[in-house]
Structure 1
Amino acid sequence: MEFDFLSPLETDLIIDLKRLSSQHLSSKVVFHTQNDFPEISKIDIAIIGVSEYRGNQSQTEEIDLSNVRRELYSLFPGNWSKTIADLGDVLPGNSADDTYFAVQKVVSKLIKNKTIPIIIGGSQDLTYALYRGFDDLEQMVNLVSIDNKFDIGKHDGSITSESYLSKIIIEEPNNLFNYSNIGFQTYYNSQEEIDLIEKLYFDCYRLGEICHNISIAEPVFRDADIVSIDLTSVKSSDSGNLINFMPNGFNGKEICSLSRYAGISDKVFLLGIFNHTGSIQESPLIAQIIWYFIEGIHYRSNEYPFGSKENYIKYTVPFEDEDIVFFKSNKTDRWWIEIPFFVNHHNKLKKNTLLPCSHDDYLAACNQEFPQRWWKAQRKSIL
C-alpha cells in the first residue's frame, strides 16, 4: 500500500536512459516504469524524487527532477555490489501534510526492509517527514543537517524549509536524541537561535571550521541516522544556483566529501537532498553528491554499533573525578568514546553507549580536556 504513493518515471526519460551504454550507471539500476515495479526485498538502495516545494517561499512551481536523473545515470559506477532502484516520485498532495504522510510511509517501509532511501526533494521541510519515518521503529534518532542555517524559525503550527526543526523538537512523540549542524554561517542565524542550540546540547560546526579541517565532520556522520543536505549550503559558483545566490558556502569537492562520509557511516540509513531549484545547472552537482554517497556505502566496514568490542583497543584516561574510556578500531583506526549509563528513569540511552570521536579528542583528554561532544552527550543522557 505504501508504494501506491509512488508514480513511475516518464516513458520518454526511460527511453533516453536506455540509450546509454551498458557501462553507465543506468544499466545497473532497476526503474519503476508504467508496467513494472522493482522487487523491494532485493533492493539495497532506493532513489526517490519528491517534488514538493510549498515549504520554500522562494519556490513557486513544482520541481522537475528528470535532469538530475539524466546526469546521475549517465555517470559510471564504481565497483559496486549494492543493488539500486529508482522508485519514481512522490507527487505533491493536496496539502503539504499529505505529502509528508506519503513520504513518511514510503520511507518507513523501506527502512524496515533495510533498504537505504535517497530522497531528492524540493523544500527541506521534507526532513520532518523523513524523521517521522522512524516513528514505528521506536528508537531515538540522530539528525545531521548540512546547512547554512539551523532552520529553527518561529513555530506557529505551520512548517517551512526554515522552521522544520522547531516542529521536530516540539512535537510528540519526541524521538530526537541529537541534532548536528555542519556548515552554519553565523550571519544567517540569530544569537537567540545559536543560544538555543547550545542550551539543547546540540552540535554545530561553522563553515570555516569544516573547510579548515573537513575530517572533523566524519565522527558526526558516524553517529547519524538521517542526513539532510540543503543545497544552499553550497556556494552558487559551484552549485549553479543563481536564483538564491550564495556567495559563500562549501565548494563542490567539499560537499561531495561530506556525502561520502555520510555513506561510509554504518549507521546512516537515510539521505535527503533538498532545496533544489529545478535548474539544469544544479543537476550535475546533485548527481555527484548521490554518486559519492553510494560509493561510501560500498566501503562500509560494519563496525559499531554492529560490531563487537573485541576488535577494539581500549584506552582509559584518568581524570580527577572519573575515568574516560576510549576505544580504537583495529580495522579502520577510528575512535569512539564511552558515554556512561546513569541510573535515571528519564535516561534515553539505556546503556553504556559508544560515541564516535576523533584521535584529537583522545589527545585532548590526555591533556585533561573534556571532549565537547562527550560532555554534551552526557548532559543529554540524564535530561
Structure 2
Amino acid sequence: MSNYKLANKENWKGRSSEKELYLHEKVQFSNIYEPVTTSENTRIALLGYSSDEGVERNLGRVGAAMGPDTIRKQLGKMANHLKSNTQLIDFGNLECKDENLEKLQADLSSSVSTLIENRTIPIVLGGSHDLAYGHYNGLVTHLKSGEKLGIINFDAHFDLRANTNGNNSGTPFYQIAVEQEAKNEDIKYMALGIRKDANTKELFDFAESKKVNYLLQEHFSINYLEHVQLRLIQFMEDVDYIYTTIDLDGFSSAFAPGVSAPSPMGFFPDIVIESLKLIIESGKLVGLDVVELNPNYDIDDQTAKLAASLVHYVIHKL
C-alpha cells in the first residue's frame, strides 16, 4: 500500500467540555488494517488522501496534500450533535509514494472497499480530485449484478480529460467512462456548476457523447432551486446508489480562495447544501469526498472552514 499514516490526534483539538459537546471529543481512531467492529448503528469513516501529485500533473497550484489534516483541525472545533450510538472514526491518511499516483488510486480503492465491508460510510478528505477514480472503484466492488452507482460531482470542471499522458486531477471521470464503455455500460454521471470558461468545447462534446447530465454554473443557484431539485431527482431515480464528490474550486473564490484553481465565478454554498439535503434524503448516498483544499492560498482558514462545515452537515444528516 502507498504510504499509510495513522491519524494524528493533535489535529483534533478545541474547547473542552467533558460531555462530547465538540467533535474532537467524539472522534475515535482506528487502523485501516484493523477497522473498528462494533454493533453501533451508524459508523462514519474519515480517510485522508494526502496528495497533490494529480494537481501538479494537471499544471495546478500544489498544496492540496495538506488538505485532509487542515479540514480535521477545523472540524474538530465544531459542535457535536451526533447521536450517542453514532461513531465518527478517523482512519488516517494515504500518501503518494514516489510520485506513483496510479498506485495511490488503487490503494484508495482497496481502502474504501475495506471500509464498506466493515459497515462504515466513507468520507474521503482531499487531496486532489484524482481520488474520485479510486473512491468510485472502491464503492463499485460492492454492487450486486445489475445495480448502478451514480456520480454527483459539484465542480466547475467536468474532469473528463483524457489520461493519455497519465492520470491527474482532471482525468478521473474520463477513466471511469472508458472503463464503463469497455463493459458496454454508460457512466452515470451528473456534474453541477460547470463553467464554460473552464471547459473546452472538446470536453463538452465528450460529455454529451457519454450522456453526462450537467448544469451550468449560471443555472446552479438558489434562484433555480426547483429546477436543480427536479434534475437531481430525475438523475437519482435512474441509479441504485450515489457517490458524491465536492470539488471546492467549484465555489466562488469569495467563499473558497484556498483551492488549486480559484475563480470568482463559482457557485454559492446555499445551493450545495440544498442539493446535499436532497441526496442524503434519497437514502442512496454510499460515499462522499471533499477535494482540492489548498491551505497555501487560504485566507483566514475560510476554505478549510467551508470544507469542514460541508462534512459537518453531511455527517449530521446521515
**Is it true that 1:192 corresponds to 2:209 in the alignment?**
no
Does the aligned pair in 1 maintain the 2:22–2:78 contact within 8 Å? yes
Deviation (angstroms), 1:128 = 0.5
Equivalents in 2 of 1:127, 1:68: separation in Å? 18
Does residue 235 of structure 1 match 2:252? yes
Residue of structure 1 aligned with 2:211, choices 201, 209, 216: 201
Identity %: 20
Secondary structure, counterpart of 2:284 in structure 1: coil
2:48 alignment counterpart? 49
Note closer, same or farther for the CA distance 1:291–1:232 as it changes in structure 2 (3 Å cut).
Answer: same
Residue of structure 2 aligned with 1:39, choices 36, 44, 47:
36
C-alpha deviations, 1:207-255, integer Å up to 9, x for none? Answer: 2222022342442457452111111000111123276331111223333
Please state whether the residue corresponding to 1:69 is helix, strand or coil: helix
Distance 1:250 1:10, change over 3 A: same
- The Cα offsets for residues 1-39 of structure 1, whole Å up to 9 and x where unpaired, read as x8x97422225335x358465311222221238xx9651
Aligned-pair CA distance for 1:84:
1.6
Q: How many residues align?
A: 292
Q: 1:243 to 1:96 in 2, by over 3 A?
A: closer
Superposed CA deviations along residues 18-69 of structure 1, whole A, max 9, x for unmatched, are: 8465311222221238xx9651454621011111111113243532533311
- 2:314 equivalent to 1:293: yes
Deviations, residues 51-108 of structure 1 (Å, cap 9, x unaligned): 1111113243532533311211211133535322111111223311121121111101
Do the aligned partners of 2:14 and 2:76 also contact (CA within 8 Å) in 1?
Answer: yes
Distance 1:130 1:72, change over 3 A: same
Matching residue of 1:122 = 127
> In terms of Rg, which structure is larger?
1
CA–CA distance in 2 between the matches of 1:19 and 1:195? Answer: 54
Distance in 2 (alpha carbons) for counterparts of 1:60 and 1:255: 25
Matched residue, 1:153: 161
Report deviation, 1:137: 2.5
CA deviation string 1:284-306 (max 9, x = no partner): 10110001111221xxxxxxxxx
Gaps of at least 5 residues in structure 1 are 298-383
2:291 to 252, 265, 274: 274
Say whether residues 1:102 and 2:113 are aligned partners: no
8 A Cα contact 2:35 2:115, kept in partner: no
Please name the residue that 2:224 is paired with: 213
The offset of 1:283, in angstroms, is: 1.1
CA spacing shift, 1:161–1:142, aligned 2, 3 Å: same
The more displaced of 174-183 and 91-100 is 174-183
**Aligned residue runs from structure 1 range 1-383, under 5 A:** 6-14=4-12, 16=13, 19=16, 21=18, 22-32=20-30, 39-41=36-38, 42=40, 44-57=43-56, 58-61=60-63, 62-78=65-81, 80=83, 81-94=85-98, 95-138=100-143, 139-156=147-164, 158-171=166-179, 174=183, 177-211=187-221, 212-215=223-226, 216-217=228-229, 218-219=232-233, 220=235, 223=239, 224-241=241-258, 244-278=261-295, 279=298, 280-297=301-318
- Equivalent pair of 2:21/2:81 in contact (CA under 8 Å): no
Alpha-carbon distance change, 8 to 176 in structure 1, aligned in 2, over 3 angstroms: farther
Deviation at 1:120, TM superposition (A): 0.5
Q: CA deviation at 1:170?
A: 1.1
Q: CA deviation at 1:179?
A: 0.7
TM-score, normalised via structure 1 length: 0.68
User: Which secondary structure state, in structure 2, belongs to the residue aligned with residue 55 of structure 1?
Assistant: helix
- Provide closer, same or farther for how the CA distance between residues 271 and 72 of structure 1 changes in structure 2, counting only shifts above 3 A: same
- 8 Å CA contact 1:55, 1:124 repeated in 2: yes
Question: Would the alpha carbon gap of residues 87 and 177 (structure 1) be closer, same or farther in structure 2, given more than 3 Å must change?
Answer: same
Mapped partners of 2:267, 2:24: distance in 1: 28
Partners of 1:183 and 1:11 in 2: CA distance: 35
- 1:183 Cα deviation from its structure 2 partner: 1.0
